[in-house]
């Protein structure tokens, strides 16, 4: 089956409604962090408080998502995502109300954290649904699942570019509070639709018993480390971009420049399906890691926005193949009863890596400028190459094991 035929078959199986809803439902999370930063900093006059609130939202989401994923493994996604969507929308609305009501900084940060804790990570949960969606395709299932993960990687990257753009449009058309209320409305509408879609029934667990499969195998630990490092790339690159844009007197362009990273990644994600099937995910991750290291190195020489746009855009072309390889490998080797948990753990690792990268890069940039921030990006990719290269045999051995209830222990 050709790549294009695989995409057509995949979308026929899922249905247009599901594909659209699953994409739109992930945008509110991509909108919320920037929306919170703009809302709180604008109301308080302090970027410190705004950054603290946005960071609290991001970290709380990273910590809460695996718990929600584990619960989804037990009882299915329908009830879990429905509660998260409505609670997350209510929390964002409450955040806007508190800010406009002049609430104290501690209350604002606490509610921002509550919003992050309750918001669903739709991308990882959508990945879980593709195996049951393709269950009746016989010998074509593995190929279709690989294609689905390529699409999901592209969809995630597109959401990271479109989400902040929607916030920008909301701020221009209404206000920062209007942008965040838009995210709340989208979460309530499309998050609920994602939760109630018939595909959610296929993720229902066996009841109240805890999943018995082992989660944190050595293989998953390697993949978590890989995602932590790619998150570090996101945080450090965005920080360096912001610093350079500010230095040249165009701070407002930082978001648009960084969006080219997501655009390049989204395009590459769609094209990943054209990689021959004989090249396994462990080799794809290694190849993408090497490409990320090579393509990030020119960031150390950039001193203007035109060169930065080109460099960041090209760098993005290796991001999605790396992440798609990580998620694909995890889907194949993690015990079937722990898939949702594993997907959310990987996504949360990316968020924690983002916080780590932006924090370290920010401190270095204060003292040494944008080049020091970009040095964090390059260092993270050097570590990624080392991590993946030294564990190729372990990853390959895990893939060779047939999926069974005892898989995690064997891996």
Q: What is the CATH number of the domain that holds 42?
A: 1.20.1250.20
**Same domain assignment for residues 374 and 395:** yes
**Same domain assignment for residues 343 and 304:** yes
Contact 84, 119 (CB under 8 A): yes
User: What is the Cβ-side half-sphere exposure of residue 282, based on CA atoms within 13 angstroms?
Assistant: 19
Angle 281-296/370-390 helices, nearest 10 degrees?
160
**Same domain assignment for residues 111 and 251:** no
**Same domain assignment for residues 194 and 215:** no
Contact 157, 320 (CB under 8 A): yes
**Same domain assignment for residues 108 and 194:** yes
pLDDT at 405 (0 to 100): 40
Q: Which of 187, 208, 229 is the last residue of a domain?
A: 208
Q: Which of 208, 224, 248 is the last residue of a domain?
A: 208
Full-model pTM: 0.77
**Same domain assignment for residues 137 and 281:** no
**Same domain assignment for residues 334 and 196:** no
Please tell me the distance from the alpha carbon of residue 185 to that of residue 90, in angstroms, as a whole number: 9
SS (HEC) of the chain: CCHHHHHHHHHHHHCHHHHHHHHHCCHHHHHHHHHHHHHHHHHHCCHHHHHHHHHHHHHHHHHHHHHHHHHHHHHCHHHHHHHHHHHHHHHHHHHHHHHHCCCCHHHHHHHHHHHHHHCCCHHHHHHHHHHHHCCCCHHHHHHHHHHHHHHHHHHHHHHHHHHHHHHHHHHHHCCHHHHHHHHHHHHHHHHHHHHHCHHHHHHCCCCCCCCCCCCCCHHHHHHHHHHHHHHHHHHHHHHHHHHHHHHCCCHHHHHHHHHHHHHHHHHHHHHHHHCCCCCCHHHHHHHHHHHHHHHHHHHHHCCCHHHHHHHHHHHHCCHHHHHHHHHHHHHHHCCHHHHHHHHHHHHHHHHHHHHHHHHHHHHHHHHHCHHHHHHHHHHHHHHHHHHHHHCHHHHHHHHHCCCCCCHHHHC
Please tell me the distance from the alpha carbon of residue 124 to that of residue 152, in angstroms, as a whole number: 9
Distance of CA 110 to the CA centre of its chain: 23
**Same domain assignment for residues 111 and 243:** no
Q: Which of 208, 228, 249 is the last residue of a domain?
A: 208
Q: How many domains does the chain have?
A: 2
Please tell me the distance from the alpha carbon of residue 269 to that of residue 320, in angstroms, as a whole number: 5
**Same domain assignment for residues 146 and 165:** yes
> Residue 136: phi, psi to the nearest 5?
-100, 20
**Same domain assignment for residues 244 and 277:** yes
pLDDT at 41 (0 to 100): 76
- pLDDT tens by residue, 345-398: 888 888 888 878 877 888 888 888 889 989 999 999 999 999 999 999 988 888
pLDDT at 214 (0 to 100): 62
**Same domain assignment for residues 195 and 251:** no
**Same domain assignment for residues 136 and 283:** no
pLDDT at 224 (0 to 100): 93
pLDDT at 204 (0 to 100): 61
Structure tokens at 205: 């667990």
> 138 is in which domain, residue-wise?
1-208
Identify the segments of the chain with pLDDT beneath 50: 206-211, 402-411
């Amino acid at each position: 089956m050709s790549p294009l035929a695989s995409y057509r078959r995949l979308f026929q199986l899922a249905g247009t409604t599901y594909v659209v809803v699953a994409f739109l439902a992930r945008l509110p999370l991509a909108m919320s962090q920037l929306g919170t930063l703009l809302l709180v900093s604008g109301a308080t006059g302090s970027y410190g408080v705004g950054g603290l609130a946005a960071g609290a939202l991001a970290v709380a989401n990273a910590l809460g998502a695996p718990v929600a994923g584990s619960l989804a493994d037990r009882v299915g996604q329908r009830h879990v995502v429905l509660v998260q969507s409505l609670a997350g929308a209510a929390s964002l609305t409450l955040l806007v109300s508190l800010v406009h009501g002049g609430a104290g900084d501690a209350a604002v940060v606490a509610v921002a954290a509550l919003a992050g804790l309750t918001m669903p990570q739709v991308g990882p949960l959508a990945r879980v649904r593709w195996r049951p969606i393709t269950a009746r395709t016989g010998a074509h299932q593995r190929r279709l699942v690989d294609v689905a993960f390529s699409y999901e990687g592209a969809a995630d990257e597109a959401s990271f570019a479109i989400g902040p753009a929607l916030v920008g449009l909301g701020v221009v058309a209404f206000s920062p509070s209007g942008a965040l209320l838009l995210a709340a409305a989208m979460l309530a509408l499309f998050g609920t639709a994602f939760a109630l879609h018939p595909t959610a029934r296929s993720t229902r667990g066996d009841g109240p018993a805890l999943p018995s499969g082992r989660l944190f195998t050595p293989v998953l630990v390697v993949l978590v480390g890989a995602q932590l490092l790619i998150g570090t790339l996101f945080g450090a690159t965005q920080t360096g971009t912001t610093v350079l844009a500010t230095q040249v007197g165009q701070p407002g362009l930082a978001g648009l420049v960084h969006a080219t990273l997501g655009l390049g990644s989204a395009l590459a994600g769609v094209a990943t399906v054209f990689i021959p099937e004989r090249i396994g995910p462990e080799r794809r991750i290694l190849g993408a890691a090497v490409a990320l290291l090579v393509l990030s190195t020119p960031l150390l020489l950039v001193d203007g926005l035109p060169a930065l746009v080109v460099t960041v855009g090209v760098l993005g072309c290796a991001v999605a193949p790396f992440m798609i390889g990580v998620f694909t490998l995890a889907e194949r080797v993690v015990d079937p009863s722990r898939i949702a948990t594993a997907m959310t753990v990987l996504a949360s690792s990316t968020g924690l890596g983002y916080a780590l990268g932006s924090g370290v890069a920010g401190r270095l940039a204060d003292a040494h400028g944008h080049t020091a921030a970009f040095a964090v990006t390059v260092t993270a990719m050097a570590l990624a190459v080392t991590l993946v290269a030294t564990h190729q045999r372990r990853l390959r051995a895990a893939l060779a094991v047939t999926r069974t209830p005892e898989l995690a222990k064997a891996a």
